[in-house]
Amino acid sequence: MIKSTLEEKKGLLNPEKKVSEEGLERSLRPSSFSEMIGRKKEKHNLSIMIESAKKRKASLDHILFHGPPGLGKTSFAHVIARELNAPMYVTNGSAIERSGDLAAILTGLEPFSVVFIDEIHRLRINIEEMLYPVMEDSALDIVIGKGPSAKTIRLDLPQITIIGATTKMASISSPLRDRFGMHIRLDFYNDDELFLMINQKAKILRIGITEDASYEIAKRSRMTARIAIRILKRVRDYAVVNNSVIISTEMVRFVLDLMGIDQIGLDETDREILKIIVSQFENKPVGLNTLAVATAEDENTIENVYEPFLIKKGLLKRTPRGRVVTATGIEIIGKKI
């Protein structure tokens, strides 16, 4: 574990902590591949890589996870570290501002450590370039001084594994992207997988739930694990307040109505996006910037949080000129063109 004053002050590095099992709200993250719902192909490929690394007594190759938010990129990183029985260190691409920050992180690592960089697409270019020799040669090049008298010192590092996660694969430069030995895209879950996941998490939260209630949450969770768990927790809160030991379908529907989530998982912002395109722009192509202004939402939020689900459900489509609502989307929001 690194005990650098810089990291403690800025919170750049957070060593994985053991979570007490005594509390009701213990971590809901899976601790092994066997506890992860779905993702059979991904788990199989990673298991082969991990077993090979163990037999070769070498570090695991660098891995890049990409895809929409809330689909398990961070959970995979934690499980990989546990499967390797290796220390894991967590940071964020936006938190590493200077080369000294990265050097402070890397020079104190134990052999075969796992470094998880969330939002890796937000790394500054100078930090990204420092990672190249780290990933290829287990070495860190540090420039001392400026101008003609500047010198480069190479520090040898132990073998480590860098796991990156991003929702913007296209924003990662080709040189950095190519240095990852495995690229894994995580797609949306189906309702059956979310159903199993909700039942699993309900047991951890120590509350009963009927099968119909589990499926009701699953089909209204935007095909996203993080949202399914969030809804389960809110329904759990309602059940606790009302002294209920079993979550029923009626209870789920009542809470989801309070949250403004409809039968297919659309929330108020989803519906607002569709309605604005259809009613204000007569379903003519709308650019992302215009849509962000009209909805008072950030462009990145619309593009990375709302659009993927709307497109996956066939309610919205992108054209070279902008976003338009599909016939299915028009029918759902009750507009006729």
pLDDT at 20: 46
φ, ψ at 196 (rounded to 5°): -65, -40
- The answer to whether 61 is a known catalytic residue is no
- Quote the percentage of the chain above a pLDDT of 90: 71
- The answer to whether 154 is a known catalytic residue is no
- pLDDT of 295-311, one tens digit each? 999 998 999 889 999 99
Measured distance CA(22)–CA(3) in Å, rounded: 28
- pLDDT of 79-125, one tens digit each? 999 999 999 999 999 998 888 888 888 888 999 999 999 999 999 99
| Confidence label for 147 from pLDDT (cuts 50, 70 and 90) | low
Q: Which residue has the higher pLDDT, 23 or 304?
A: 304
Q: Which of 13-22, 36-45, 195-204, 277-286 has the lowest mean pLDDT?
A: 13-22
Same fold for the pair 191-259 and 268-332: no
Instruction: Give CA angle at 196 (191, 198), nearest 5°.
Output: 90
pLDDT at 29: 87
Please state the rounded mean pLDDT for residues 233-237. 95
Q: Which of 17-31, 236-250, 269-283, 308-322 has the lowest mean pLDDT?
A: 17-31
Give me the catalytic one of 39, 101, 118, 224.
Answer: 118
- The answer to whether 156 is a known catalytic residue is no
Measured distance CA(238)–CA(242) in Å, rounded: 6
- Checking if the pLDDT of 3 tops 50, the result is no
Give me the catalytic one of 29, 219, 226, 230.
Answer: 226
- The answer to whether 101 is a known catalytic residue is no
Measured distance CA(159)–CA(139) in Å, rounded: 9
Domain coordinates of the chain in residue numbers? 5-185, 191-259, 268-332
Please state the rounded mean pLDDT for residues 18-29. 53
pLDDT at 23: 44
- The answer to whether 146 is a known catalytic residue is no
CATH fold, domain 191-259, is Helicase, Ruva Protein; domain 3 (1.10.8)
Length, in residues, of the chain = 337
- pLDDT of 188-234, one tens digit each? 999 999 999 999 999 998 899 999 999 999 999 999 999 999 999 99
Please state the rounded mean pLDDT for residues 132-161. 83
Give me the catalytic one of 39, 73, 201, 222.
Answer: 73
pLDDT at 5: 32
Give me the catalytic one of 91, 161, 166, 167.
Answer: 167
Query: Which CATH code of 3.30.413.10, 3.30.70.360, 1.10.10.10, 1.10.760.10 fits the domain covering 268-332?
Result: 1.10.10.10
Please state the rounded mean pLDDT for residues 119-143. 90
Query: Which CATH code of 3.90.79.10, 3.40.50.300, 3.40.50.1000, 3.90.76.10 fits the domain covering 5-185?
Result: 3.40.50.300
pLDDT at 13: 52
Q: Which residue has the higher pLDDT, 165 or 23?
A: 165
| Confidence label for 336 from pLDDT (cuts 50, 70 and 90) | very low
Residue 10, Cβ neighbours under 10 Å: how many? 15
Mean of pLDDT over the chain: 88
Q: How far is CA 5 from CA 95, 109, 158, 236, in A?
A: 15, 15, 22, 40
